[in-house]
Amino acid sequence: MSIQAINVRNQFRGVIKEIVEGPVVSEVDVETAGGIITSVITTRSVKELGLAPGREVVALIKSTEVSIATLQGPGNDRRD
Domains in the chain with CATH codes: 10-64 (2.40.50.100)
The reported pLDDT for the residue numbered 80 is 42
Kindly write down the DSSP assignment for every residue of the chain, as one continuous string. ---SSS--SEEEEEEEEEEEE-SSEEEEEEEETTEEEEEEEEHHHHHHHT--TT-EEEEEE-GGG-------STT--TT-
The reported pLDDT for the residue numbered 6 is 61
Residues in Cβ contact with 54 at an 8 Å cutoff, skipping those fewer than 6 apart = 15, 16
pTM above 0.85, yes or no: no
Tens-level pLDDT at each residue, the chain (80 residues)? 555 566 667 889 999 999 999 999 999 999 999 999 999 999 999 999 999 999 999 998 877 777 777 777 666 554 44
